Amino acid sequence: MSGNDVRFATREECDIILDFITRLAIYERMEDQVVATAEGLQESIFDQGHAEVLFALEDGQPVGFALFFHNYSTFLGKAGIYLEDLFVDPGHRGRGHGKALLTRLAQIAVERGCGRLEWACLDWNQPSIDFYLSLGARPMMDWHVYRIDGEQLMRMGTHKS
């Protein structure tokens, strides 16, 4: 795979991005949680700049995607890249597309002076875990992810101090 096989998505491709998000959610057994729309993605990704998307290409067609955004490490004193989603169409796996996406993300992190590239993986997803370990990724065993969303987020976000 050459570097030309990965490119940034454009605002006109939000339907393709949403399709990849939906297929990833099905794979992760979370399809009932997808409420995103192509219009909402266009606004949050391209108008507001909250995230960026790369496509892996085969014969010029998107066969995988990576959605990422910047976070920040106070310990490093540098920005980082957080990979929210990585998905390659099952019919195109094993051809280097996932590695090409992660390699491009690492290149972007280095180009932008970032201190790290990180992501989360479901504990049952052994094929992905094995793939990440083969690239030299390390699991962060001492850390747990916490989340506030939905009604609790609304209660906290509208609470007057």
Q: Which residue among 27, 72, 82, 132 is the active-site one? A: 132
Give 115-154 pLDDT, tens digit per residue. 999 999 999 999 999 999 999 999 999 998 899 999 999 9
CB 80 within 8 A of CB 109: yes
* Mean pLDDT value across the chain: 95
pLDDT, tens only, 41-80: 999 999 999 999 999 999 999 999 999 999 999 999 999 9
41 C-beta neighbours (distance < 10 Å), count: 22
Percent of the chain predicted with pLDDT > 70 = 98
9 neighbors 17 (Cβ within 8 angstroms): yes
Distance CA 10, CA 14 (A): 8
What value does the mean pLDDT take over residues 26-45?
97
Report the CATH number that the domain containing residue 61 is assigned in CATH.
Answer: 3.40.630.30
**E strand spans, 27-123:** 52-58, 61-73, 78-88, 117-119
Beta-bridge partner residues of 82: 69, 118
| Domain count along the chain | 1
**Is the pLDDT assigned to residue 2 strictly greater than 70?**
no
Q: Give mean pLDDT, residues 87-96.
A: 95
Give me the domain span that covers residue 24.
Answer: 3-158
Q: The tokens 């939906």 sit on which residue?
A: 22
pLDDT at 134: 95
Active site residue 27: no
